[in-house]
Amino acid sequence: MSNFDVIVLGSGPGGYVTAIRASQLGFKTAIIEKENLGGVCLNWGCIPTKALLKSAQVFNYLKHAEDYGLSAENVDKDFDAVIKRSRGVADGMSKGVQFLMKKNKIEVIKGFGTLKPGKKVSVKDEQGKETEYGADHIIIATGARSRELPSLPQDGKKIIGYREAMTLKEQPKKMVVVGSGAIGIEFAYFYNAIGTEVTVVEYLPNVVPVEDEDISKQLERSLKKAGIKIKTSAEVTSVDTSGEGIKATVKTAKGEEILEADIVLSAVGIKTNIENIGLENVGISTDRDKILVNNYYQTNIPGYYAIGDVTPGQALAHVASAEGILCVEKIADMHVEPLDYGNIPGCTYCTPEIASVGLTEKQAREKGFDIKVGKFPFSASGKAKAAGTPDGFVKVIFDAKYGEWLGCHMIGAGVTDMIAEAVVARKLETTGHEILKAVHPHPTMSEAVMEAVAAAYDEVIHL
């Protein structure tokens, strides 16, 4: 039996980052992966979807070339080529992780890992051969998959999840997207942009329901303007797949209606991959589909840890990476502070993009804060107008008493690259006045942050 200091089970953005940090800290490290290095994020999630979205964005630019004083004739898309490019980007990123494993002298063990008592993992390879490995510390990072609803059993053909949505053989003429979180909205935008007729069905009253209400309303307006049909406070109760396409029964406040389409994309959240990995063999505690851990990701059994989607924190790639780094640094007896889950940025990469961190206006009021709220529309931004992307705004929320930056919410072009300013500022406990006095470059999209803060303090110049 091979022995290691650290074994990581799963190689997604939580697992492979954890393994690299462990190796950097001098631990003899192994990583176990049953499929492709990089996990869902690099192979079937974050990265390939951004490649698809970029193709859609470029296609949209070409169709509107005249808006920029240019001419582009006979513009069309090649659906197969778009999918192929996305897969190529994903493959390249996965190969990059392979390089990082070699560079950091991490042993990659291919196969399905099952936890055993006594700090051991049994790995079954493709030939069915089982090999046992031991380690002082075993870190579970097995991630999650598309969740299935009883009314939407995925068959991979007519009722699909995100994996199939990235590799369809033919572009559907009509699609129903169930769920308007980041995954549902990104695919709705992509398919609509390349010519599919898309209807989004959301159970809650607003699309992207975790976002500030003003953001949700603006996105709904933008999506409708782009031709996407939106049905909120609606539920798909059944889907008939017996015909050539599908017939989805949708229950709304007005009653039931039937939506006909080629495909239904189920984007109603995720299900953690905690089955059959041996948690019960070891006695590791779980609750409602999550592995219970302390602030340093230790489970109730010494020597076993868990990070990423399988734990109760936000199911985001950057959260999993941060948790893994913190976990192994604690193992190495470094001084670490628990992760602040109230300062985690969230991003949705449709057009316009969404980025946010901290409290929404509603949450701030419910918590009893006396608040200052500022908004600055990109329609008043010289950079946004010049770029032809005036939709959206930046919204900031401050505690009126102490100037604490409680929340920042953005919708517009490129805002996912802007939100880090608010994250860092909140980490440093920066006040609104300090943001106002920090000179922002002109013309940029980012100066809208300064202008929104100025609006909160009744000092706005360009509005």
The residues assigned a catalytic role are 442
- From the list 7, 36, 42, 9, the residue with the least C-alpha distance to 22 is 7
Residue 286, both tokens: 């779980």
Q: Which CA distances in Å does 343 have to 15, 147, 180, 300, 403?
A: 22, 26, 23, 26, 16
How far is Cα 159 from Cα 180, in angstroms, rounded to an integer? 16
Instruction: Check: CB of residue 191 under 8 Å from CB of residue 176.
Output: no
Give the pairing type, strands 270-272 and 144-146.
antiparallel
Instruction: Check: CB of residue 301 under 8 Å from CB of residue 284.
Output: yes
State the SS3 of 34-71: CCCCCHHHHHHCHHHHHHHHHHHHHHHHHHCHHHHCCC
* 112 bridge partner residues: 124
Torsion of CA 174, 179, 180, 184, to 10 degrees: -60
Residue 147, both tokens: 């969740």
How far is Cα 186 from Cα 53, in angstroms, rounded to an integer? 8
How far is Cα 20 from Cα 325, in angstroms, rounded to an integer? 9
How far is Cα 380 from Cα 455, in angstroms, rounded to an integer? 13
Residue in this structure with the two tokens 């490995």, named with its chain if needed: 133
Question: What long-range pairs does 190-193 form, CB within 8 A, spacing at least 24?
Answer: 190/49, 190/52, 190/53, 190/56, 192/223, 192/226, 192/227, 192/228, 193/56, 193/57, 193/59, 193/60, 193/226, 193/351
Instruction: Check: CB of residue 356 under 8 Å from CB of residue 346.
Output: yes
Residue 186, both tokens: 């990104």
How far is Cα 400 from Cα 370, in angstroms, rounded to an integer? 6
